Amino acid sequence: MAEIPKAYEPQEIEERWAKAWFDEKLFRAENSADGPPFSIALPPPNITGSIHIGHMLEHTQIDMLVRWRRMSGYRTLWLPGMDHAGIGTQFVVERELAKEGIRRQDLGREEFERRIWQWKEKSGGAIKQQMIRLGASCDWTREKFTLEPALYRAVIEEFLRLYHDGLIYRARYIVNWCPRCQTAVSDLEVVHVERPGHLWHLRYPLVDGSKGSVVVATTRPETMLGDTAVAVHPDDERYKKLVGRNVLLPLMDREIPVIADTYVDREFGTGVVKITPAHDPNDFEVGKRHNLPQIDVMTNDGRMSAAAGKYAGLDRFEARKRVVEDLKALGLLEKIEDITHSVGVCDRCKSEIEPRISTQWFCKMRPLAEPAKKAVIDGLVEVVPDNQRTILLNWLDNIRDWCISRQLWWGHRIPVWHCDNCREMLPATDSSVELFEGHARAAGVPKRCPKCGGTALTQETDVLDTWFSSCLWPYSTLGWPDDTPDLRTFYPTSLLISGYDILFFWDARMIMTGMYLSGVRDGAPPKTDRADTIPFRRLYLHSLVRTSEGAKMSKTKGTGVDPLQLTQENGTDALRYMLASMAAPGTDIVLSEDRILGARAFANKIWNAARFLFLNLQKLEAHGLTIEHLASPAHRAAAPYRSGDDFALPDRWIFARAADVAERMNDALDNFRFHEAAQTIYQFFWGDFCDWYIEWVKPQITSAPTETTIATWRNIFAVLDVSLRLLHPVMPFLTEELWHRLPHERPYRSIALCEFPRVPAISDQHGVPELVELLQQIIVSARN
RNA sequence: GGGCGAUUAGCUCAGUGGUUAGAGCGCUCGCCUCACACGCGAGAGGUCGAAGGUUCAAGUCCUUCAUCGCCCACCA
C-alpha cells in the first residue's frame, strides 16, 4: 500500500465518507442492531445562519454517545431537524432586507413570509450540509422542521388542549416590550445588564394651595407622563396626613391621588413612589389594588404616544431628556444621582426592553410546573451535573405565567378567531392543518360565532413563542399526537443533551408539556408510568464554549469561531477529539490553539501507526503472506494468539490494557465523561500501543515470517482493530478509512455498525501489568 | 440581594479521601533510528488561591475570606 501518504490528509477522506454515509442512509434507525432502542432528539439549531463551535461541541458529544450506543447493539435513532426560531429568524431576515433598503412592512405579511421561507431553505440547507460534513450520525430520513405540517398540527393540538383546560388565557398585562422587534417577549428573553444611569428625583407639588410637595425618584423620568398616583407606606408617619389628597403631576397638569400601599419601602429614597401602572409591573399591581387608570404613554416603536401630551412622537430617550430639562426649568428637578443599575435588554436585538401594558396570550404555569417538580424530585429524570437539578427545581418553584404570544409574522399563528361583530374568541375546531402556498396553516376554521351568529371571523394575527413549539420536539418529531410506530419505539427518548443556557427555555418546558400532554395532572394519578410521560430519561447539560474573557461565543459580537474553517485546517476528527478531551462536565470550555494542534498530531499518529503496519506487511508479501492470512475478520475475532505454548508477555499485556481501556471508556461514556474517554484512548493508543507494544514487536514484524511472527502479526492487527473501534465514536472519519483497509467478509458497510469493544480477551492477567510496568522502568533506566 | 462554578506546572486543563499530584503544549538536552519532526529518547518545572477545621490520612470533605466568571431576582 505504497499509496498511503506519509501525513494524514483529512480533507478528501472526510468528504468522501461524509457523502457515503449520507447517501447510503447508514444511520437510519432501521440499520441499527435489533437491540433495545436508544433515541436522542437533536436540539434543533435555529435557522438563523450556520453552525458555530458551540453546536459542534454539542454535536460531538451527542454523536459520541450515539455512535457508542449504536456500536453497543442498541437500535439507535438520532433524529435531526431545525427550529424556525421565530424572533431570531425574523430578525436576521429583516437585517438582510435592510441591506436592500427594504422593511418588512413594505412587503406585507405574506410576501415577507415567502422571503423567510427562501431564507429557511438556504440556512437550513447549509446547517444540514455542515452537520453531515462534521460527521453527525443522524437519521436524515427523519429530518423535521418545526413549521412543517405535522409539527404545525402538533402545536395546534397543544394549544387547544391547554386552551380548553383553561390554562391559556388572553389578558391585558404588563409585558416586556421590545420596541425594535415590536413584539412582546417572555421574561426569559430579557437579559439584564449593569449599566451606569441616573436616579432622577422629581418634585410633585400638592394641589391644596400649600407650598407643600413630595419628591419621588425614578430611573425612567419619561414614564412620569403616565403617572396616575403617588404612593406612600400606610404606616409612614411622615406622610399619613397626605394620603387621600392630590398632587399635581407636572408637565401634564393632571391631578393624581396620594395613596397608601404596603408595597412602598419606607427606608428607600424619600419613601414616596410614583405609580405608573402602564409601565411598571409593581405599579401595575398597585394600580389594580387602587383602581388607578392605566395610561400607556408609548407606541409600539418606542415613541411617546398621544397620551404623552406635547411629547407625543418623540423617541423615548429624547423624551427622557426633554422631560428632565422641562422639569429643571420649572424648578421641580430635586437632584440627579449617578447610579449603576440593571437594565433589561432584548435577548435578540439588545434594545432596551420597555415594561408596558399590552393585551397578550399567557399560559398558566403553576399546574404544569408542579408535576414536573415532583418528577425531578423523585428522580424520574436524571439530571447531570447534579447541581443543575437544584437550579431547575428553584426555577420551577418560582415559575410565573408565560407570555406566549408574539407580534411577529414568522411562526405558528395562534389558532383562535375573533368575531368581527361581538369580539367573541373562537378556537380552532380541531388541530387539522392544510397547505396554503405549500406551507401549513390551521384548517379547523370556525364557521360562525355561537354567541351572535356572525360569520365574519378573523384569525388572531399574533404567532406563538418559538419555545411553545420547540417544547414538543421530542414527541412531535415522532408523530405525536398520532400513535405512530416511531413514537411507540423511541419515546420517551433515552437522553437529552443540551447546553445549560436553555435549561429553562427548553428543557424544563419539555418536561412540563410532555407530562401534561401525556395526561399527568397535579393530584391525579397518570394513566401510564409517570416516567414514561417525561420526554427523556436522562438530561445532560453540557458546557458552553466561551471566549477567554468568559463571554459566550457570539456571531454578532464577532467572537464566534467558524468550525468549518478549523476543520479545514486541522481535520474534523482532530477538532472533535479536542472538544471531547476538554468536555469535562460542569466546566465551560475556552478554546486553545495548542489543544487543537495536539489533537491533530494524534490523528496523524494513528494514521502513521497504521501506515507502518501496512508498509511492513507489503514486505511480507514476497513470502506469500497477505493481509487476509493475518487480519481476516475471523483472525481478528480469534485473537489473542499464542506464540508457541503461551502468550508472549507483550501480547498478554496489550490485550489486558485494551480490555481495561474498553471498560473505562464504556464507563466514561455512560457517565458523560467525554474527556476521560478521549484521554483514555489517547493514552492507550499512543502511550501503550505505539510507544511500547509496536516497539517491542518491531523486530518480529520487520523480519521474515516464523510461527511466532505470524501470531504477533495477528495480534497486532487485532489490537489495531480494537483501537479503531474504540476510537470511532470520537474520530469517525479516520477510523472508517483505516477500517476499510482491513479485510472484511462481504458485504460490509461501516465500522460504525461494528461492535464497540467490551470484554477482556484474556482472562488470566495475574501480575502482568505490574510485571510490564517493572520491565518498562528497567528499560527506561537502561536507556539512560 | 440570592445561587452556581473556577482558582493545581510558564500556558490550557485533568484529578470519583489513600503510596513519590498528572496530561498536552511550551522549555532544556540528545536524535532527520528504514511509521510518524504533527516525530523519537531523556529531563527540569507544583508549599494544589488564603486561613482555620474534620480525619490515621485532605488538591479532594466542612467553615470563613479573597479574586474572577456565570445564572437568577419587580425595590422606585
CA–CA gap between residue A81 and residue A146 (Å, rounded):
8
Given this model, what pLDDT does residue A478 score? 95
A144 SS3 class: strand
User: CA(A385)–C1'(B59) in Å?
Assistant: 21
User: CA(A599)–C1'(B45) in Å?
Assistant: 24
Residue A164 identity (one-letter amino acid)? H
Cell reading at A121 = 431553505
Please check whether strand B approaches the CB of A383 to within 7 Å: no
A79 SS3 class: strand
C-alpha A199: how far from chain center: 38
Given this model, what pLDDT does residue A368 score? 94
The length of chain A is: 784
DSSP A708-731: HHHHHHHHHHHHHHHHHHHHTTT-
Q: How confident is the model at residue A351 (pLDDT cuts 50, 70, 90)?
A: very high
Which residues in 424-483 of chain A line strand B, with CB less than 7 A from it?
Answer: none
Q: What angle do CA A69, A73, A78 make, to 5 degrees?
A: 40
Least confident of A30-44, A331-345, A514-528, A748-762: A514-528
Confidence check: pLDDT of A502 > 50: yes
Q: Half-sphere exposure (CA, 13 Å, Cβ side) for A45?
A: 25
Category of A251 on φ-ψ map: left (φ > 0), alpha (ψ -120 to 50) or beta: left
Beta-strand pair A229-232/A254-260: parallel
CA–CA gap between residue A758 and residue A73 (Å, rounded):
11
Which residues in 478-507 of chain A line strand B, with CB less than 7 A from it?
Answer: 501, 504
| A80 neighbors A42 (Cβ within 8 angstroms) | yes
CB neighbours of residue A343 within 10 Å: 17
Which range is most confident: A210-219, A342-351, A605-614? Answer: A605-614
Chain segment A594-634, per-residue pLDDT in tens: 889 999 999 999 999 999 999 988 888 888 888 888 888 99
Given this model, what pLDDT does residue A587 score? 87
Residues 6+ apart with CB under 8 A from A462: A360, A361, A405, A406, A407, A408, A413, A414
Q: What is the DSSP letter of A257?
A: E
Given this model, what pLDDT does residue A210 score? 78
CA–CA gap between residue A5 and residue A19 (Å, rounded):
22
Q: How confident is the model at residue A172 (pLDDT cuts 50, 70, 90)?
A: very high
CA–CA gap between residue A206 and residue A256 (Å, rounded):
10
Percent of chain A surpassing pLDDT 70: 95
Q: What is the DSSP letter of A351?
A: P
Which helix or strand (DSSP H or E) is residue A196 part of? strand A190-205
Cell reading at A647 = 502468550
Burial zone of A378 (CB within 10 Å; 0-12 exposed, 13-18 middle, 19+ buried): exposed
Please check whether strand B approaches the CB of A279 to within 7 Å: no
Q: What is the DSSP letter of A187?
A: G
Q: In what order do the strands lie in the sheet with A75-79?
A: A75-79, A37-41, A493-499, A536-542, A382-384
Q: What is the DSSP letter of A551?
A: P
Confidence check: pLDDT of A72 > 70: yes
Q: Which residue is nearest to nucleotide B36 (CA to C1')?
A: A608
Listed residue (A112, A96, A115) closest to A104, CA to CA: A112
| A121 neighbors A114 (Cβ within 8 angstroms) | no
Which residues in 496-555 of chain A line strand B, with CB less than 7 A from it?
Answer: 501, 504, 546, 548-552
Given this model, what pLDDT does residue A120 score? 95
For the segment A47-66, the average pLDDT, to the nearest whole number, is 93
Burial zone of A334 (CB within 10 Å; 0-12 exposed, 13-18 middle, 19+ buried): middle
A499 SS3 class: strand
Which helix or strand (DSSP H or E) is residue A108 part of? none
- Using CA atoms, how far residue A158 sits from A426, A481, A506, A631, in Å, is 16, 9, 16, 56
For the segment A171-195, the average pLDDT, to the nearest whole number, is 93
For the segment A526-552, the average pLDDT, to the nearest whole number, is 82
CA–CA gap between residue A174 and residue A188 (Å, rounded):
15
For the segment A182-200, the average pLDDT, to the nearest whole number, is 91
Nucleotides on chain B that have an atom closer than 7 A to a protein CB are: 3-6, 11-16, 23-25, 35-43, 68-76
Confidence check: pLDDT of A492 > 70: yes
Cell reading at A148 = 412543517
CA–CA gap between residue A627 and residue A638 (Å, rounded):
15
Chain segment A626-657, per-residue pLDDT in tens: 888 888 899 888 878 888 888 888 888 899 88
Q: How confident is the model at residue A233 (pLDDT cuts 50, 70, 90)?
A: very high
Model-level pTM?
Answer: 0.94
| A489 neighbors A450 (Cβ within 8 angstroms) | no
Q: Which residue has the higher pLDDT, A679 or A773?
A: A679
Exposure string of A632-647, with b = 16+ CB inside 10 Å and e = fewer, is beebbeebbbebeeeb
User: CA(A599)–C1'(B10) in Å?
Assistant: 21
Which helix or strand (DSSP H or E) is residue A704 part of? none
Q: Which residue is nearest to nucleotide B71 (CA to C1')?
A: A501
Confidence check: pLDDT of A412 > 90: yes
For the segment A324-344, the average pLDDT, to the nearest whole number, is 91
User: CA(A9)–C1'(B31) in Å?
Assistant: 26
Chain segment A271-297, per-residue pLDDT in tens: 899 999 999 999 999 999 999 999 999
CB neighbours of residue A435 within 10 Å: 10
Q: What is the DSSP letter of A223?
A: G
Burial zone of A655 (CB within 10 Å; 0-12 exposed, 13-18 middle, 19+ buried): buried
CA–CA gap between residue A391 and residue A406 (Å, rounded):
27
Please check whether strand B approaches the CB of A594 to within 7 Å: yes
Burial zone of A485 (CB within 10 Å; 0-12 exposed, 13-18 middle, 19+ buried): exposed
| A132 neighbors A61 (Cβ within 8 angstroms) | no
Confidence check: pLDDT of A526 > 70: no
CA–CA gap between residue A533 and residue A518 (Å, rounded):
6
Find cell 449593569 and name the residue.
A194
Please check whether strand B approaches the CB of A220 to within 7 Å: yes
Given this model, what pLDDT does residue A195 score? 86
User: CA(A396)–C1'(B3) in Å?
Assistant: 14
Least confident of A44-53, A412-421, A502-511, A600-609: A44-53
**Mean pLDDT of chain A, nearest integer:** 91
CA–CA gap between residue A478 and residue A711 (Å, rounded):
50
Confidence check: pLDDT of A318 > 80: yes
Residues 6+ apart with CB under 8 A from A205: A211, A212, A213, A247, A248, A250, A332
Please check whether strand B approaches the CB of A196 to within 7 Å: no
CB neighbours of residue A127 within 10 Å: 21
Given this model, what pLDDT does residue A702 score? 82
Confidence check: pLDDT of A553 > 80: no
C-alpha A557: how far from chain center: 19
Phi then psi dihedrals of residue A253, to 5 deg: 50, 50
CB neighbours of residue A541 within 10 Å: 25
Burial zone of A187 (CB within 10 Å; 0-12 exposed, 13-18 middle, 19+ buried): middle
CB neighbours of residue A458 within 10 Å: 9
CB neighbours of residue A118 within 10 Å: 11
Given this model, what pLDDT does residue A767 score? 66
C-alpha A516: how far from chain center: 22
Percent of chain A surpassing pLDDT 90: 71
Confidence check: pLDDT of A707 > 90: no
Helix residue ranges, H only, A449-507: 466-470, 473-476, 485-490
Given this model, what pLDDT does residue A599 score? 94
Residues 6+ apart with CB under 8 A from A644: A707, A708
CA–CA gap between residue A215 and residue A271 (Å, rounded):
9
User: CA(A680)–C1'(B25) in Å?
Assistant: 18
Cell reading at A550 = 468568559
Q: How confident is the model at residue A525 (pLDDT cuts 50, 70, 90)?
A: low
Confidence check: pLDDT of A427 > 60: yes
A579 SS3 class: helix
Q: How confident is the model at residue A83 (pLDDT cuts 50, 70, 90)?
A: very high
Beta-strand pair A254-260/A405-406: unpaired
Least confident of A65-74, A407-416, A697-706, A744-753: A697-706
Which helix or strand (DSSP H or E) is residue A702 part of? none
Given this model, what pLDDT does residue A1 score? 45
CA–CA gap between residue A375 and residue A428 (Å, rounded):
32
Chain segment A461-477, per-residue pLDDT in tens: 999 999 999 999 999 99
